[in-house]
Structure 1
Amino acid sequence: MSLIWRPVRVLLGLLLRRPILGTSVIPVLPTGQIVLIRRTDNGLWGLPGGIIDWGEDILTAARRELAEETGLDLLHVGRLVGIYSKPQRDPRFHSVCVALEAHVAGQPMVADPAEVIEISAFDPQRLPMRNLSHDHAQQLQDYLAGKTVLA
């Protein structure tokens, strides 16, 4: 039995122990304000985003997550802000995040109360940088500095 189990364990390890791919969206309103969500899981502010579903591309996932969490419509992507892959960036699991600037339209609203407590639009100079989830402070700093990073 152990001769069969060992290759199965190795195969499962290869298939299941992989980083999860996700996206975060930096939603920019026509006023220039940036929309953040307050998360239910940790009470911190963060960028909308999430895991890319099977069969989705990054843009489709970004558009879906933005609508699900904020009720906003993605008009167009401004630029790639970065790809963030440090194993500790997400306390739940190892994830790789593609961060995008998105020009958005609509009225921000809590569209999914299971994930979002509150939504607010902030002037870029007044973002709550000390109260952000995951590595979203780094993503926003890179965005505001005009960088495109691989971190």
Structure 2
Amino acid sequence: MKNFAFFTPVMQSIHSLWRFAQTVLGIIFRHPITGTSVIPILPDGRIVLIRRTDNGRWALPGGMVDWGEDVPSTVRRELMEETGLEVTNIRRLVGVYSSPERDPRIHSICIVVEADVQGEMTIPDALEVMEIQAFAPNSLPKADMSHDHTQQLQDYLNGLTTLA
């Protein structure tokens, strides 16, 4: 069992290094990076948000699509990595957001989906997420959210499917 305790931090470090390398490659080759955001809906209808460690803002869970991975797999992986929750059903496409200004780090294209989720909220990666909280749709944070997640949530709440 002691070997596994050493193995987990090593794998997390390798995963973080791979994410950094993906960002650098996107900058070098000057092509947008594809990512996802998930609007996770708990069985009681509340929406799960994370507070990011890099900017302290509330955000939707999500992240970059890995090489050889499809979007539904990315949605499931990123939600589990950031919240500990499991996707039970991807309900619908909320939108595709591609403005070069939407992510301050890189030009990324974000595919946003609504998903039913279950499980216990945990913070598997404290380097990326400082807090997780579930909000009723009418009590979502009013403050400026990370990236363009305020717009993504507003489009979702308005029942829109957006190409922006």
Q: Quick one: distance in 2 between partners of 1:70 and 1:32? A: 16
Asked if 1:115 is matched to 2:109, the reply is: no
Residue of structure 2 aligned with 1:67, choices 66, 80, 88: 80
* Pairwise CA distance, 1:129: 3.2
Task: Tell me the residue number matched to 1:96.
Answer: 109
Q: Deviations over 1:66-124 (max 9, x none)?
A: 00000000001010000000000000010000000010001111111010000000000
Asked if 1:83 is matched to 2:81, the reply is: no
Q: Quick one: distance in 2 between partners of 1:128 and 1:111? A: 23
Residue of structure 2 aligned with 1:58, choices 64, 67, 71: 71
Q: Quick one: distance in 2 between partners of 1:109 and 1:123? A: 19
Q: Deviations over 1:8-46 (max 9, x none)?
A: xxxx99x71100000000000000000000000000000
Which amino acid is 2:138 matched to? Q
Unmatched segments (≥5 aa) in structure 2: 1-24
Asked if 1:45 is matched to 2:58, the reply is: yes
Q: Quick one: distance in 2 between partners of 1:61 and 1:131? A: 25
Which amino acid is 1:62 matched to? V
Q: Quick one: distance in 2 between partners of 1:38 and 1:101? A: 19
Question: Identity of aligned pairs, percent?
Answer: 62
Task: Tell me the residue number matched to 1:127.
Answer: 140
Q: Quick one: distance in 1 between partners of 2:50 and 2:32? A: 24
Question: Residue 154 of structure 2: SS of its match in structure 1?
Answer: helix
Runs of 4 or more off by more than 2 Å in structure 1? Answer: none
Q: Quick one: distance in 1 between partners of 2:106 and 2:63? A: 12
Q: Quick one: distance in 2 between partners of 1:60 and 1:40? A: 24
Q: Quick one: distance in 1 between partners of 2:122 and 2:145? A: 19
Of structures 1 and 2, the larger Rg is shown by: 1
Asked if 1:35 is matched to 2:42, the reply is: no
* Pairwise CA distance, 1:130: 1.9
Unmatched segments (≥5 aa) in structure 1: 1-11
Asked if 1:150 is matched to 2:127, the reply is: no
* Pairwise CA distance, 1:131: 3.2
Give me the CA root mean square deviation. Answer: 1.4
Scaled by the length of structure 1, the TM-score of the pair is 0.89
Q: Quick one: distance in 2 between partners of 1:39 and 1:71? A: 15
Q: Quick one: distance in 2 between partners of 1:132 and 1:108? A: 20
Task: Tell me the residue number matched to 1:141.
Answer: 154
Count of aligned pairs: 139
